[in-house]
Amino acid sequence: MPRPRFLDPTDRGLSRLGQEILPVLYRHRLLTACQLTQLLRPASTSTRYVRRQLEVLHSRGLVDASIRRTSRAGELLWYTTVLGCEVVESGGEIAPRAYRMTEDAAASQLQEHTLAVNTMGLAFVQHARRRGDECGPLDWDPEVAHRLRDGDSRLGDEAFLVPDAVLHYIHTTPTGDGGQQQRMLLTFFCEIDRATMSIARLAAKLHAYARYARYIPQPVLGRGRPKTASGYRREAWRARYPSFPRVLLILDGASAGQLAKRADDLRALAAADGRLQPAVDLHAGITTLEQLRCHGPFAPIVTPVLGDPNPTDVLLRPSAAAAAVACV
């Protein structure tokens, strides 16, 4: 799993922290000074040092800031400039991204959604530290495209699945054998819903994940048309993941009661949708951003989209097993 890269300490006269900030901002697009402090200097009780480093980066043209639209106090949201992106990409340790934050995008109405995605990632990082698990500042990646079908996209039939974030996490549990620990590599497809989209759209996202779980690419022969070949039976996701990632639908942007109703409505739609039932490899659950922040991913805060409605954890284990682990 990638970790923040440290450039040569003499590069551009930046401190070690300044060099850590750049790749984190590059990856996560928009972050507050508070979020950066919690990610990179968790023992600090003040954002002062991080803000000072941001000012240095700004003076060198590597980062810029936009005012948060919902903040009365003029809170700043930081992002990498074109030059800052080039500095990060030149290091070669983070895959270059086609998307770059611009001044207009940083000031747009997408601010809160981007911050919510990063709040989700930060919650995983903080609880990993408390548990002795592994999840770092670069262990979630926003908007990673996954092809869903061969050929060109048709109207109403998108060619790509793009989760809000793909998050990687190493979960450790004691084995009872001389203090040894079992390490489990987990991957999650994370979708943030701030109560701005219809339940039908959320259900459509579940359809896309079910399609991706079954999608087998075909070799292209002649005029760009896929041709079925005997024996060519490997799902596309197997080239990227050791097992199919769990899907987390994380709700925010409304009261707890309203979010509970949205979760119930989504479960009802999913239960009535025959297209989701054959997707036995699709493990999907619903929680809220507030529950994730307060209780952590391994508390019984997740309601499965299909089947048993009793709360479980992000592993989507039977609820009794999840509750037992949470009490350890």
Q: What is the pLDDT of residue 327?
A: 46
Written as six digits, the tokens of 306 are: 């299909």
The total number of residues shown for the chain amounts to: 328
**Residue-range domain boundaries for the chain:** 11-106, 111-326
Residue by residue, DSSP assigns 279-306 as: -TT--EEEEEHHHHHHH-TTSS-BEESS
| Positions in the chain short of pLDDT 70 | 1-12, 151-158, 176-179, 220-232, 277-280, 319-328
In Å, how far are 129, 205, 327 from 182, measured between CA atoms? 17, 33, 18
Which stretch of DSSP H or E encloses residue 79?
strand 76-80
**Domain 11-106 adopts which CATH fold?**
Arc Repressor Mutant, subunit A (1.10.10)
Q: What is the pLDDT of residue 297?
A: 96
Q: Which long-range contacts (CB under 8 A, 24 or more apart) does 301-310 make?
A: 302/248, 303/263, 303/267, 305/206, 305/247, 305/249, 305/266, 305/267, 305/270, 306/267, 306/270, 306/271, 306/276, 306/277, 306/282, 309/267
In angstroms, rounded to a whole number, what is the distance separating the alpha carbons of residues 34 and 40?
10
Written as six digits, the tokens of 292 are: 């994730």
In angstroms, rounded to a whole number, what is the distance separating the alpha carbons of residues 192 and 274?
24
Q: What is the pLDDT of residue 71?
A: 85
In angstroms, rounded to a whole number, what is the distance separating the alpha carbons of residues 212 and 235?
8
Q: What is the pLDDT of residue 223?
A: 59
Task: Give alpha helix (H) positions in the chain.
Answer: 16-28, 33-40, 48-59, 82-91, 103-106, 111-131, 199-214, 256-272, 289-295, 319-326
Q: What is the pLDDT of residue 292?
A: 98
